[in-house]
Structure 1
Amino acid sequence: MLSVTTQHQPQPRMRFLVRVLLIVVAALGMWMAAQAAVIPAKAVVAQFLLNSAFEASQTTGTAQKPWPWADMAPVARLRVPRLGVDQIVLSGGSGEAMAFGPTVLPGTAAPGQPGTTVLTAHRDTHFRFLRNLEPGDRISLETRRDGFTEYEVVGTEVVRWDAFSIRQAAGESRLALVTCFPFGNQAPTPRRYLVHTLRSQSAN
């Protein structure tokens, strides 16, 4: 008598479950890839809109919002030639503004005007470059009305947020850049990293 060996074939229900699982895993992978691409894409689009709004404000002479629901508008362009930094500075000082670029701290001088202008931004994005600034570095601030103002870095310091102050002397024009400290740490911190600059003598 011949014995016949039969191989058990996967049941239809098992094949269906395996197929569904593969589809779910593939869909999850595509969703995660899409999510990872959204943030850089949003950043690129935002920078394009900010630059367009700043150029439009220079043409019209009035502040132009980068998108209709924005609670801020571009007021200046910040450049650090040695580090290749080129950023649009925003008004308002709000959390939304800081998500897209440096912003003018309320209560300080407007960019390009006499007094001390204070700009602030996040330490892990737009103001990450502050740790690479050195005394003597040149910083350019371009506004829609006053053109270019050149500043020179004269020093840095770390202070508590409640001890933050700006040295001011009559007739001086200063730019201060402020972010949280230490760099590379996302935990809340009471310390601030402060870059002091003075208007370049050649710009007077």
Structure 2
Amino acid sequence: MTRFLILLTSSSVLLLMFGLWIPFKALVAQELLERAWAESQSGQSEERPWPWADTWPVAKLELPELGVSMIVLEGGHGESLAFGPGRVFGGEGGALILAGHRDTHFRHLQNLQKGYHLRLQNQNQQWQRYQVMDTRIVDSRYESIDTHRLAADSVLLVTCYPFDSMDAGGPLRYVVEARPLPDEDFGNTVATL
């Protein structure tokens, strides 16, 4: 009986550690990414957050109403998304698509509502404000994001759905569409990434 309790306790601790590892890694990574972002802005270069990283910071994303700020990385592959949201498409004067995991960096998207704002800062330290125009759920088995139909200056934030699902990698995606706001404090130009 004692061995069974020790095995049960050890298994529970191990499962807890695995469950906390991804959120912990995401939190620590954002600190390292903040440093790399500051270095990228000062040197106008692609600074990798750690020597073996296969990605680098390309923007800073803020969700002011939710008090959330995060560094956006280049690429939408698993290595990037483990540490922060990733730029998967565009940003050079065209529509921009950012993707992130629903259980770490983009878990806040479930609280974004139409009319809320987001801000993006590019490497030249220019900020652009956006307003959420729409949120929708897309079934990736039947619908894809048509980048040609997007307004050239729009931003899409994409994550898996539902937010509380235990099934990772399902076909549903939660999509937030935002459009730029002219702002006298930031100028009327869209900051390109």
TM bucket, shorter chain: 0.7 to 0.9
Once the two structures are superposed, the pairs formed by residues 20-31 of structure 1 within 5 Å of their partners are 28=10
Q: Partner amino acid for 1:60?
A: G
CA distance in 1, matches of 2:51, 2:16: 26
Determine the structure 2 residue equivalent to 1:121.
100
Residues 32-78 of structure 1: CA deviation (Å, up to 9, x unaligned): 49946765653443222111000000010001000111110011110
Shift of residue 163, structure 1, vs aligned partner: 2.7
Residues 2-60 of structure 1: CA deviation (Å, up to 9, x unaligned): xxxxxxxxxxxxxxxx9xx7xx78x959x749946765653443222111000000010
Determine the structure 1 residue equivalent to 2:116.
137
Determine the structure 1 residue equivalent to 2:158.
178
Mind listing any 5+ residue stretches in structure 1 that lack a counterpart?
Answer: 1-17
Which has the larger Rg? 1
Mind listing any 5+ residue stretches in structure 2 that lack a counterpart?
Answer: 189-193
| SS of aligned partner of 1:134 | coil
| SS of aligned partner of 1:163 | coil
> Is residue 150 of structure 2 the alignment partner of residue 168 of structure 1?
yes
Identical columns (%):
39
| SS of aligned partner of 1:131 | helix
Determine the structure 1 residue equivalent to 2:182.
201
Q: Partner amino acid for 2:163?
A: F
TM-score, reference length from structure 1: 0.76
Determine the structure 2 residue equivalent to 1:70.
53
Shift of residue 146, structure 1, vs aligned partner: 5.3
CA distance in 2, matches of 1:197, 1:40: 27
Q: Choose from 87, 91, 99 the match for 1:104.
A: 87
Residues 66-105 of structure 1: CA deviation (Å, up to 9, x unaligned): 0111110011110011001101100021101101110001
Q: Choose from 155, 167, 170 the match for 1:189.
A: 170
Q: Partner amino acid for 1:189?
A: G
CA distance in 1, matches of 2:107, 2:83: 14
TM-score, reference length from structure 2: 0.80
CA distance in 2, matches of 1:33, 1:189: 23
Please list every run of at least 4 consecutive aligned residues from structure 1 whose deviation after the TM superposition is greater than 6 angstroms.
none
Q: Partner amino acid for 1:174?
A: S
